[in-house]
Structure 1
Amino acid sequence: MLLLTGGPFPVIGGPGHQKLTAFLKSYAATLPAPPTALLVVSGHWEESTPSVTSASNPALVYDYYGFSPESYELKYPAPGSPKLADRVCSLLQAAGMQCRKDAKRGWDHGTFIPLMLMFGEAQIPVVQLSLLASLDPAEHIRMGEALGPLQEEGVAIIGSGSSFHNLPALFAAMGGDSSALARSKQFDEWLQHVCTDPSLSYEKRAEVLSEWRKAPEGPYAHPREEHLLPLHVVFGAGKGEAGKLVFDDMAMGVKCSSIQWG
């Protein structure tokens, strides 16, 4: 699933996040059973080699700036999972990809902010997976394909980024710039179609998502692609199925979506 986060705003009640916060709080109740573990692909961690947190109790990384003091005191004391970190690496290596375990890296806000709302009891083990510094869309789809078996083992793979991430445009939209909303809608409609249209084959979906910059307003929606690529990983893990639209609304004055596979 691709989530949508605006720093700590969904948790501390920032402007334009009410509907998103309500969605995140209600999401766990829609699942048939609690996940055995959570693997979060965050748009805030890039490495030359796919890397996973492997500590038993990772710290939190408050990688945002200029927010209220309370936002730097947030806690999410869920356990880590060295066992899941090992499993992630073994799956990636079996697919011919390298993998590095990082016992010092903590969870950034792309992980702990949405999880505070989705799984607030903080009892399910969590591992965070980095993006590739190459930002190659096809390679991120391949990562997801390798990790697909985790879903059969009860692990929820969560892509934490945003379907729209142009910060100047977000600030303009919050200030009432209607053009930002209109342009975000064009990209969002394209993204929803590509991810959810059952008439598209997996191969076609992968091809189009790999060339997402050709989408209407693609470079405007994502001047830099790191917040979109978690979707590519989750898509690759989705067993070739069409995605399901689970959030379709506004956040911070622009159109945003969240897609679920599996």
Structure 2
Amino acid sequence: MSCSAKAASALTCMMTALPVLFVSHGAPTFVLEPGVAGANLNRLGRRLVEPTKPSAIVVVSAHWQSSGLRVSAAPMPETIHDFGGFPREMYEMQYPAPGAPDLANKIVGLFKQAGIKADIDPRRGLDHGAWVPLKMLFPKADIPVLQVSIPYSYKPEQVWAMGRALAPLRNDNIFLMGSGSITHNLMEWRSHTHGSNARYAVDFEAWVRKNVVDHNKDALCNYLDNPDGARAHPSPDHYLPLLFAAGAASQDGKVEVLEGDMRFGMLSMDSFVFH
């Protein structure tokens, strides 16, 4: 291939490959109180549909864990209200996006090529880790959406490998999104006075940001080696979607930080766009 052909090929890749998003989705009421984080997601969504909107969206959410790797293939996924004790309007909200059964089968095939076993789930709907941020990104709900689960048994490196396996979809105009939280200690949240930001949450947020921007796989996968890691994530469910997104990203690409606030003194709302 000539130098000019290589340059043209690289330019084509830059023009066609969609970014990957990790979003901190916060509490379900994020959709009612979007703040700066929600405004940044809305602006990102407007950028992503110009000049052509994504043909489909694949979400790995903290709120779908399963005994084995599953890929949703419902033609019209229901809006799951998987929470309790919130305002009535939360339970009336819908995100009526169509599903993507054909894409689900393709994803199972991509996992198989990577040596990862996955099965189709024909009924799974969209949990709030998916539809809450999607309401801010793509409020028209006119882009097909499916979800991929996180197996209970998966280690950080395995979730990273899930992202690597699905990375080729970016060149097919498919938008990949991991949805979780940079910090997520609900036990402390319930007892916190909410007066000031917890030091450990601020420090862990800064550590994550640095290692995401540096594409430091070893550090991110070994987050429990960080002195604040176990406190920021007593369970891994809200951290692992970050590893899916980072695994699917170009390993030398620019990372854009979407600023968010620190809610309730310890719930980071920062998000990352991997270009």
Q: Which of 66, 75, 79 is 2:98 aligned to?
A: 79
TM-aligned CA deviation for residue 105 of structure 1: 1.2
TM-aligned CA deviation for residue 158 of structure 1: 0.5
Aligned partner letter, 2:29: F
1:24 and 2:41 are equivalent in the alignment:
yes
The answer for the alignment partner of 1:260 in structure 2 is 273
CA distance in 1, matches of 2:89, 2:228: 36
1:11 and 2:23 are equivalent in the alignment:
no
The Cα offsets for residues 69-116 of structure 1, whole Å up to 9 and x where unpaired, read as: 111110111100001101110100111111111111111101111111
Change (3 A) 1:124 1:53: same
CA distance in 2, matches of 1:43, 1:131: 8
Q: Which of 113, 129, 148 is 2:148 aligned to?
A: 129
- 2:270 match: secondary structure: strand
Percent of aligned positions that are identical? 33
Contact residue 211 and residue 219 of structure 2 kept, 8 A: yes
Gap regions ≥5 residues in structure 2: 1-20
- 1:148 match: secondary structure: helix
The answer for the alignment partner of 2:228 in structure 1 is 217
The answer for the alignment partner of 1:239 in structure 2 is 250
Aligned partner letter, 2:259: D
Q: TM-score, normalised by structure 2?
A: 0.86
Q: TM-score, normalised by structure 1?
A: 0.90
CA distance in 2, matches of 1:153, 1:251: 35
Aligned partner letter, 1:25: N
CA distance in 1, matches of 2:149, 2:172: 21
TM-aligned CA deviation for residue 68 of structure 1: 0.9
The Cα offsets for residues 8-43 of structure 1, whole Å up to 9 and x where unpaired, read as: 212123xxx412221222221233542111000000
The Cα offsets for residues 107-155 of structure 1, whole Å up to 9 and x where unpaired, read as: 1101111111110011100011101211410000111111110001111
The Cα offsets for residues 130-189 of structure 1, whole Å up to 9 and x where unpaired, read as: 0121141000011111111000111111001011111133345562144x1x21111111
Contact residue 37 and residue 269 of structure 2 kept, 8 A: no
The answer for the alignment partner of 2:209 in structure 1 is 192
Contact residue 26 and residue 269 of structure 2 kept, 8 A: no
Q: Which of 161, 169, 174 is 2:188 aligned to?
A: 169
TM-aligned CA deviation for residue 7 of structure 1: 3.3
Aligned partner letter, 1:167: L
Structure 1 residue ranges, 4+ long, deviating more than 6 angstroms after superposition: none
Q: Which of 110, 125, 146 is 2:129 aligned to?
A: 110
- 1:226 match: secondary structure: coil
Aligned partner letter, 2:41: L
Equivalent positions of 1:30-179 (< 5 A) are: 30-31=47-48, 32=50, 33-172=52-191, 175-178=194-197
Aligned partner letter, 2:212: C
Gap regions ≥5 residues in structure 1: none
Structure (1 or 2) with the larger CA radius of gyration: 2
CA distance in 2, matches of 1:75, 1:147: 28
Change (3 A) 1:119 1:18: same
CA distance in 2, matches of 1:35, 1:159: 16
Contact residue 161 and residue 230 of structure 1 kept, 8 A: yes
